[in-house]
């Protein structure tokens, strides 16, 4: 069996030959090509069943990437904040990254792969309400900002030990794209909903400043800074390549 396959395949094994001084396992060339095996990769060979002579050959990098993607999908499909928190912790162990750093990475990944779509409405009695923010995004935002308001940094501990926060949609008609969401306290959320909100300033699509009833607020937005760094790094690479091209022409 190769990698995380569950069904064994019959392959030909050429035992060690003292002339060529090697053991050959047929099908490996195809597998090396499909997986893009490169120098430095770790390959594990384990015995699955001694009686049936079943072995597993696994490219550690490929298996880890598959496990990470499965964990990422479970995180996004979580139905509760508790479930999402457990999946985030599991993903942190797999990727060996700190929860906060991982939360930033996953929010940027969601932002890059999703679009700003109309926010669904769900019926609730006689009135209609907007659909709530998915647990995965709530937990990622909580981890990134330590549960503290992005405007005033206020929070408080609930009876269950968790930090209290609310999620504000900058445009209530648009869905849960990370750039449309702010983690806020109840007071700042109420101001966004009922006060005079003007002069919204964005950096690379992320809100970094806003005026509420004439008072200016800076919005703590690490996602914007990270996006800008990536854009500058990409620009630097393009400039470097163009300079190399000019040098080669000369």
Decide if 5 is inside a domain: no
Of 88, 109, 108, 110, which Cα lies nearest the Cα of 99? 88
pLDDT in tens, 143-180: 999 999 999 999 999 999 999 999 999 998 888 999 99
Spatial distance between the Cα atoms of 13 and 194, rounded to a whole number of angstroms: 73
Same domain, yes or no, for 85 and 200?
yes
User: Is 53 within the bounds of a domain?
Assistant: yes
Phi and psi at 199, nearest 5°, equal 50, 50
Q: Do 144 and 183 lie in a common domain?
A: yes
Q: Is residue 190 part of a domain?
A: yes
- 148 and 205 both lie in a single domain: yes
Give domain status of residue 248, yes or no: no
pLDDT score recorded for residue 127: 46
Beta bridge partners of 197: 212
What local confidence, expressed as pLDDT, does residue 173 receive?
82
**37 and 103: one domain?**
no
Statement to judge: residues 83 and 195 lie in one domain: yes
Classify residue 231: in a domain, yes or no: no
Say if residue 140 is in the same domain as residue 216.
yes
DSSP readout, 167-221? EEESSTTB---GGGEEEE-HHHHHHHHHS-EEEEEEETTEEEEEEETTEEEE---
Calpha distance 181→194 (Å, rounded): 17
**What range defines the domain where residue 156 resides?**
77-115+132-222
Residues 58 and 180 in one domain: no
Residue 228 lies in a domain: no
Q: Is 213 contained in some domain?
A: yes
**Domain for residue 37, yes or no?**
yes
For residues 28 and 90, membership in a common domain is answered with no
Q: Catalogue the E-assigned strands of 90-132.
A: 121-124, 127-130
Same domain, 58 and 147: no
Q: Which residue has the higher pLDDT, 127 or 163?
A: 163
pLDDT digits 0-9 by tens, 72-114: 999 999 999 999 999 999 999 999 999 999 999 999 999 988 7
**pTM above threshold 0.85:** no
Q: Are residues 163 and 88 part of one domain? A: yes
Number of structural domains the chain divides into: 2
């Amino acid at each position: 069996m190769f990698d995380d396959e569950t069904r064994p395949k019959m392959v030909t094994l050429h035992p060690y030959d003292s002339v060529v001084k090697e053991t050959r396992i047929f099908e490996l060339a195809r597998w090396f090509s499909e997986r893009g095996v490169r120098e430095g990769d770790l390959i594990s060979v384990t015995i699955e069943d001694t009686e049936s002579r079943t072995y597993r050959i696994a490219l550690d990098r490929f298996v880890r990437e598959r496990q990470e993607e499965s964990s990422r999908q479970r995180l996004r499909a979580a139905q509760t904040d508790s479930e999402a928190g457990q999946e985030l912790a599991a993903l942190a162990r797999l990727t060996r990254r700190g929860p906060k750093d991982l939360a930033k990475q996953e929010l940027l990944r969601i932002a890059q792969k999703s679009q700003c779509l109309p926010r669904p409405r769900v019926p609730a009695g006689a009135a209609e309400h907007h659909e709530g923010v998915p647990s995965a995004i709530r937990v990622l935002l909580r981890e990134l900002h330590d549960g503290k308001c992005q405007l005033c940094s206020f929070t408080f501990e609930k009876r269950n030990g968790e930090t209290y926060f609310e999620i504000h949609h900058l445009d209530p008609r648009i869905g849960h794209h990370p750039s449309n969401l702010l983690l806020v306290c109840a007071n700042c959320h109420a101001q966004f909903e009922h006060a005079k909100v003007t002069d919204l300033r964005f950096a690379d699509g992320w809100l970094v400043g806003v005026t509420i009833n004439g008072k200016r607020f800076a919005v703590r937005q690490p996602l914007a800074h990270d996006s800008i760094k990536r854009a500058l790094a990409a620009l630097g690479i393009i400039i470097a390549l163009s300079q190399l091209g000019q040098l080669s022409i000369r």
